[in-house]
A and B are shown apart, each in its own frame.
Chain A
């Protein structure tokens, strides 16, 4: 099992550019989530999914889109990058009520 994988590991964008952060899991988990981590703010939930075709907003969803067409994949799209979206992004997956597993993170710098 690879667990939760994320690509890319690091990305630099210019303001206004768009990009997709990839996340995949091979544990057949129903639940997948995206978080951003900023100094002093902890991890904040961006979007989450409780199964293929079902997504919902978390605490800080503005500027981000998600979709869940398969159980394995949960990409996060930045529509028009802003400097405020400079952060470390983590994807996670779990079964309902069970341990949450995290990917290694994507460091994003928006200039």
Chain B
């Protein structure tokens, strides 16, 4: 059974800092990994999708990397802003029917 872990569970940083969020998974036979953002009381917004054949994806100030062999992904946020405050979730797609397993998330607070 795929297990997805995100550490830390919460993170508080001053505005302007670069930061890294971590995601680890137990079964490396994955199709892809996706990072989401969730604001309080809202749904999930997709940030980046990395296919199993890719090593990284970039969108603006966000960069996500994938190391399948070690079962790890990182989400790098450059020059953090208060608007980045949210919970960040990673989700791994694997298995015969490509089921998606979520981590429990990292709650990020960027302090002005």
* Interface residue tally for chain B (C-beta within 8 Å): 23
Does A98 contact B49, Cβ atoms closer than 8 Å?
Answer: yes
Within 8 Å CB of B49, what residues of A?
98-99
Contact of B34 among A35, A56, A100 (CB under 8 A): A100
Select from chain B the residue with minimum beta-carbon distance to A40: B104
Instruction: Give the contacts of A67-109 with B (CB-CB under 8 A).
Output: 90, 92, 96-105
Chain A CB within 8 A of B76 CB: no
Within 8 Å CB of B28, what residues of A?
none
Contact of B104 among A42, A45, A101, A102 (CB under 8 A): A42
Within 8 Å CB of A58, what residues of B?
99
Q: How far, in angstroms, from A96 to B100 measured CA to CA in the complex?
A: 11
Within 8 Å CB of A97, what residues of B?
31-32, 51, 93, 98
Q: How far, in angstroms, from A44 to B102 measured CA to CA in the complex?
A: 7
Within 8 Å CB of A102, what residues of B?
36, 43-45
Query: Which B residues lie at the A interface, using CB under 8 A?
Result: 31-32, 34, 36, 42-46, 49, 51, 89, 91, 93, 97-105
8 chain-A/chain-B pairs, Cβ below 8 angstroms: A48-B99, A58-B99, A90-B43, A97-B32, A97-B93, A100-B34, A102-B36, A102-B43
